Structure 1
Amino acid sequence: MNETNSKKQLPPKEERHKLFGSVEPGPRTKPQDKDKMADLQNTKKDFLFELDAVGVSNVKHPIVVPSHVEPKEQTTIGTFYFASTISQGSKGTNMSRFTEQLQAYYNKGFRVDIETMKKFTKDLQERLKQKDAELTVEFPWFYQRKAPYTGNIGMNHADAWLKVKYHHENGYDIKVGLKAKITTLCPCSKEISEYSAHNQRGNVVIEITLDPEFDEDKQDWKELLLEAAESNASARIHPVLKRPDEKMVTEQAYENPRFVEDMVRLIASDLYELDMVKQFHVKCINEESIHLHDAIASITFDKREE
């Protein structure tokens, strides 16, 4: 059969569009210039209630993350949440202002550090002409990890986030958080068994309220929270382990058994001793190796209420 004769004879693209519902443009009667358009969101009336938050979420954007450990500068993707309260007398907000400001900061090189996020939030509050503004940015943070015996280097990562609220009268409220993975070995299993003990991967979630005067140039909050989680675990997680490394990690875990209850109390103790931490929430979730369920424990503590 001739290949040319076997091809479908399709109508032109414009006709295909019409076939699936496209129609000719109708008459244009409304203004196209912005200054002549109605601005419904800027309407001022009594709209019954003040709104806790109005904004945009799940905004993904390239960011630069500084770190005190290698790699000391990394480009990654941040997921943003932006919002402000809305007074009872305002109908709404101009959503484009959130992403316009994000692009403006990106054009100047968008580093996700505390000082930049504080300035961003204050600028946003002024731009929105509201009494406050807030942002949250979540991102993966990568860090080099050496094997304990051979020193072989690989790359680990943790999920990090930074939350900044600014109020024109009350100032800043800053929270940072980290979700890191660790190894835990069951104390009960070690105690009752003739030999060996079961272990599992644990997920530690830490969120703290920072002192507004915290100096990020002197300390990296990501590194501090990671150390609080890992130094209290049965063992750390490593991307590269040769046999001598595996022997060390296995023996270390056996020597440092931990329940989830132990984990959150030990981490809380470290956070309590850090002056820059004003309030903290710690949670540990163990993916149990001999059960289908997870084991959990958590602590919330506010040092400002002592």
Structure 2
Amino acid sequence: MLPIEDIQGRPDTRRIAIGKVGIKDILHPIRVKEKSGGEQRTVAHFAMYVNLPHDFKGTHMSRFVEILNDHDREISIASFPAMLQDMLAKLEAESGYIEMRFPYFIDKAAPVSGVRSLMDYQVSFIGEIDNAGCRIKVKVIVPVTSLCPCSKEISERGAHNQRSHVSVTVEAKSFIWLEELIMLVEAEASSQIYGLLKRPDEKYVTEYAYDHPKFVEDMVRDVAARLNAEPRIISYSVESENFESIHNHSAYALIQRVNSPS
């Protein structure tokens, strides 16, 4: 049998390097450790990229899938550095990027009745590698309730509120549980959100939110203050999008802190 030519291995004469090339939105099962000691098995959307030098025509897309399957029994945040290193070696690249995005579930008890239900959160693990080393970030998107302080102040009856998505992305010098990041955000909301509430619970969360009004600016500043006080965190970004209930737009705020590891 005659050898099959590797078209992607041909040289390219345009002398234009590509910053990221690879595969996006491929599904693969993963395992995530829980703070309680258990383990969740879920499915993640993966994005995997490497750089491509100016003199290479293309990369080998099938090798990205091979890497996923090689790590099939161990994909977790702990296996990220090994996956990134494998990717550089197999793709003969100088830099690489892997992101896996997945739902994470926490069993929550309603504040009064104690009825339990699962609450889902969107989580991403993001890994980058180059000559400077390997960097891992964790992102959580936490849905919460925010109640408008201005509306409460000027209204004789009630105040408008909305559901908000608070996104926190952190780089840490040591391990941080997903539950810790989620609880940190929920503690600064006008109220937490629950999967299931009975009438006494609805009364409680409604009144609790009324007693804890927050502008979008308050939300990101209060979460940032907690992140500033956490010694394990090297850098972070916190952003909040409030899906307004009386306007046809969202309110948005962002705070970032970038530090070098000590």
Deviation string 1:118-157 (CA, Å, 9 cap, x unpaired) is 1111111111122222200000111111111221110001
Task: Give the CA RMSD over aligned residues.
Answer: 1.8
Q: How many pairs does the alignment contain?
A: 261
Provide the residue aligned with 1:297 in structure 2: 253
Provide the residue aligned with 1:18 in structure 2: none
CA distance, structure 1, for counterparts of residue 36 and residue 200 of structure 2: 25
SS of equivalent residue, structure 1 residue 63: strand
The letter of the residue matching 1:100 is E
Deviation at 1:69, TM superposition (A): 4.2
TM-score, length-scaled by structure 1? 0.80
Deviation string 1:258-277 (CA, Å, 9 cap, x unpaired) is 01010011111111122222
SS of equivalent residue, structure 2 residue 71: helix
- Which one has the bigger strand percentage? 2
CA distance, structure 1, for counterparts of residue 246 and residue 107 of structure 2: 31
SS of equivalent residue, structure 2 residue 69: helix
Provide the residue aligned with 2:145 in structure 1: 183
Gaps of 5+ in 2: none
Deviation at 1:44, TM superposition (A): 4.1
Deviation at 1:74, TM superposition (A): 1.9
TM-score, length-scaled by structure 2? 0.93
SS of equivalent residue, structure 1 residue 248: helix
CA distance, structure 1, for counterparts of residue 150 and residue 259 of structure 2: 32
Provide the residue aligned with 2:35 in structure 1: 68
Provide the residue aligned with 2:75 in structure 1: 111
Larger radius of gyration: 1
Higher mean displacement: 86-95 or 44-53: 44-53
Question: Superposed, which structure 2 residues align to 1:1-306 within 5 Å?
Answer: 36-44=3-11, 46-69=13-36, 72-106=38-72, 109-113=73-77, 115-167=78-130, 169-211=131-173, 214-215=174-175, 219-220=176-177, 222-304=178-260
Provide the residue aligned with 1:12 in structure 2: none
SS of equivalent residue, structure 2 residue 153: helix
The letter of the residue matching 2:98 is L
Deviation string 1:164-197 (CA, Å, 9 cap, x unpaired) is 0122x31112121111100111101111122321
SS of equivalent residue, structure 1 residue 172: strand
The letter of the residue matching 2:84 is T
The letter of the residue matching 1:243 is R
The letter of the residue matching 1:60 is L
SS of equivalent residue, structure 1 residue 303: coil
